[in-house]
Amino acid sequence: MVSGRTTLAALMVIGFLGAAGSVQASQGTASITITGQVPLVCRVSVDDSASAMMSANGNRSVLREFCNNGAGYRVVASYSKQLSAGQLVVDGQPIALDGSGEVVISDVSHAASTARTIAVSGSDKVAGSIRFRIEPR
């Protein structure tokens, strides 16, 4: 014998299933916008202790430059007057040290990360100092 409660419960389940079958899902679109800000980072460094002492006897080192500025950057070398008659050799290409105290090492029109070999050459074994800086555009 089936009680009234069981019959009522069965009818409710059947009614729920029938109602669930007739529900239609809404087809909508949604979009999410994500924005962020990347800090500008530009660095230049010389491997080992070469930045402390590069003499005109051809010591070589590696200059590493990194800048994420999309418009690019330039690397400038500031040198002491003792090196004015010499050359700075960057990736095998000589750059005259003309006595102005500064020379552009690289001028790049996009973000980049690179390593360059550097050396100082001159006729005499003269010691001096060179400092490198990077300037975003």
**What's domain 42-136's architecture?**
Sandwich (2.60)
Q: What percent of the chain has pLDDT over 70?
A: 69
Alpha carbons 63 and 91: distance in angstroms, whole number = 10
Mean pLDDT score of the chain: 80
How many residues does the structure list for the chain? 137
pLDDT for 120: 85
> What is the tens place of the pLDDT at every residue in 27-58?
788 899 999 999 999 999 998 655 444 554 55
Residue ranges of the domains in the chain? 42-136
Alpha carbons 104 and 115: distance in angstroms, whole number = 16
Which residue numbers in the chain have pLDDT < 70? 1-26, 48-58, 123-126
Tell whether pTM > 0.75: no
